[in-house]
Structure 1
Amino acid sequence: MSYQPDELFTSTAPYYAKYRAGYPPQLFTHLADWLGLDCTQNALDLGTGTGAIAIPLSEHVREITAVDPDPGMLNEGRKLASARGITNIAWRLGDSHHLDQLNLGPLHLVTLGQAFHWTERDVLLSALDNLITPDGAVVVVGGPTPGAIEPPAWLQVVDEVRSRYLGRERRAGSGTYAHPKEGHQEVLARSPFSHIEVARWDRVITRDLDQVVGLQFSYSYSSPAQFGDKKAAFEEDLRRALTEFSPEGGFDELVRTEAIIATRPQ
């Protein structure tokens, strides 16, 4: 694994804001109920991206600090929040390696949406132990474990076209990436936040051709920066292959959102 945090999602922000599906509303009502959020708590969203967690969570907390190493992501998040009239999010440039530079006060909740795997997890959890209140929580939000849900057939079409341009090895910025062999729950279980509850929600998302193509440019491993001057050719080839696969243009995907809620043992 070799990458710099601030280069992972270079050039993806507009696509991320437009084409990522976001999280189901039930996630945020569940967190509010489970953790007793009543708009008096402070929260931190690490690796916030364009605010997929921070924006909907903001209605349940007093203030949320949304941190990301990519300025483009933060700019998109600010625009989305402003359009909704949200004023209790502090957008901060940074990453999990430099929490001490953010001057954070006591936190009741720290969230990581599809970002925990980018961090030094044990080191981060140790640092959070000094920031989170005794009754606070770490919440890791993401998808299911590999193999839990069968991927849609059209995704194989996307993989084949992308591999012709970028190869089979997954990229991350100017380096490469391999998913951690140890699961998030195992890491959390040996941390100060070893009491774990898991909640899951399934939904079917239907995308059209433009949405499937645009979605690919929101990922770190298939960003516009990764393709460079081959982006247009990749997009043309992908559109052709997907149209051959599904001439009617509908692409369904069963999406599972999983929230790991970790607190200190009582």
Structure 2
Amino acid sequence: MRTDKENVPMPTQPNQLFISTAPYYARYRPGYDPAMYEHLRLRFSLDGTQRVLDLGTGTGTIALPLATLVGEVIAVDPEAGMLEEGRALAEAQRTDNVSWLLGDSTTLPAMNIGPVLLTVMGASFHWTDRHQTLRDLETLIEPAGAVVLASGGAPGDIEPAPWTDVIAEVRTRYLGPGRRAGSGTYQHPAERHQDVLAQSTFRHLEIHTWDRTVTRTLDEVIGLQFSYSYSSPAQLGPDKAAFEADLRDALIKYSPTGLFDELVRTEVIIGSRTQTR
């Protein structure tokens, strides 16, 4: 059992962090509320013919559900491991209208993607140079299109489940108090996404939220931790097994039933060039 922060693992390169999370991300992340996709279908009259870009797709959390509504999804991610998991999921679901491309916001202008109605981003937007990314998207997104940012809401919007304190205590013992991200620690941007959008061509904003309760088993809660870059297998290194054992013990003491409820929010920020009527 780790009792202090001595011998905390050294920071890991960002690509190693994300590659090691890929199988856990695909299996344990809850995804976004189905109501979000229905809202996009109605808002943009999606009828199976449109092209959309999913920038920072990961394992296709947004791309795969969206593919049922449009003609083509261009799914872009900088990590080959994430794309590999996405392709496998697409094949298992018999989804064949997603193009999986290696790249990121900095390579976007040279990728010859062509016009898209929507550019959707999940947690990826905060990792980019947001102002520059929006400038680059001006030439890609069709006049009636939009930027769509999906997330779990800003930090503090939802009261964390009490059992997350148990996880934070164990994680701190192994990795320190900061959420590690590559060579440093992750800090949520001070400037809100909607404020960045408001300074761009896509300044006309809509914000919608949906809340639901997700019940996870003990194994699902533990697997979820390995889907985060700040507690990924690569970040933990040789301490992964000990971390898992300590976390399992602490969580089962907290909830002997082995079930853990959490209120999960889906928030979508839509930025378009014109005001919605």
| TM-score interval, normalised by the smaller of the two chains | over 0.9
User: Shift of residue 39 of structure 1?
Assistant: 1.6
Q: How does 1:53-92 map to 2 (within 5 A)?
A: 53-92=62-101
CA distance in 1, matches of 2:118, 2:175: 38
- Residue 230 of structure 1 pairs with residue 239 of structure 2: yes
Tell me which amino acid in the other structure corresponds to 1:28.
Y
Contact residue 62 and residue 88 of structure 1 kept, 8 A: yes
- Residue 36 of structure 1 pairs with residue 45 of structure 2: yes
Question: In structure 2, what is the equivalent of residue 243 of structure 1?
Answer: 252
Identical pairs, percent: 59
Instruction: Note the alpha carbon deviations across 1:128-160, whole angstroms, 9 max, x for none.
Output: 011111001100000122222110010000001
Contact residue 110 and residue 138 of structure 1 kept, 8 A: yes
Contact residue 64 and residue 90 of structure 1 kept, 8 A: yes
Contact residue 12 and residue 234 of structure 2 kept, 8 A: no
> Helix, strand or coil for the counterpart of 1:191?
coil
Contact residue 14 and residue 183 of structure 2 kept, 8 A: no
> Helix, strand or coil for the counterpart of 1:96?
coil
- For 1:186, which of 187, 195, 199 is the aligned residue? 195
Question: In structure 2, what is the equivalent of residue 151 of structure 1?
Answer: 160
CA distance in 1, matches of 2:44, 2:12: 34
Question: In structure 2, what is the equivalent of residue 173 of structure 1?
Answer: 182
Instruction: Note the alpha carbon deviations across 1:72-92, whole angstroms, 9 max, x for none.
Output: 111111111111111110001
> Helix, strand or coil for the counterpart of 1:180?
coil
> Helix, strand or coil for the counterpart of 1:139?
strand
CA distance in 2, matches of 1:6, 1:88: 27
Instruction: Note the alpha carbon deviations across 1:42-97, whole angstroms, 9 max, x for none.
Output: 11001101101000001111111101111111111111111111111000111111
TM-score, normalization: structure 2? 0.93
> Helix, strand or coil for the counterpart of 2:114?
coil
> Helix, strand or coil for the counterpart of 1:182?
coil
Question: In structure 2, what is the equivalent of residue 112 of structure 1?
Answer: 121
Taking only aligned residues, the RMSD between alpha carbons, in angstroms, comes to 1.4
Tell me which amino acid in the other structure corresponds to 2:267.
E
Question: Which range moves more in the overlay, 99-108 or 158-167?
Answer: 99-108
CA distance in 2, matches of 1:93, 1:180: 25
Contact residue 3 and residue 176 of structure 1 kept, 8 A: no
User: Shift of residue 8 of structure 1?
Assistant: 4.5
Question: Which range moves more in the overlay, 144-153 or 191-200?
Answer: 144-153
Contact residue 17 and residue 234 of structure 2 kept, 8 A: no
CA distance in 2, matches of 1:59, 1:3: 37
Question: In structure 1, what is the equivalent of residue 29 of structure 2?
Answer: 20
User: Shift of residue 172 of structure 1?
Assistant: 1.0
Q: How many residue pairs are counted as aligned between the two chains?
A: 265
Tell me which amino acid in the other structure corresponds to 2:138.
D
Tell me which amino acid in the other structure corresponds to 2:164.
L
Question: Which range moves more in the overlay, 31-40 or 218-227?
Answer: 31-40
| Runs of at least 5 residues in structure 2 that lack an aligned partner in the other structure | 1-10
Question: Which range moves more in the overlay, 143-152 or 75-84?
Answer: 143-152
Contact residue 17 and residue 233 of structure 2 kept, 8 A: no
Tell me which amino acid in the other structure corresponds to 1:177.
Y
CA distance in 2, matches of 1:10, 1:240: 27
- For 2:261, which of 243, 252, 256 is the aligned residue? 252
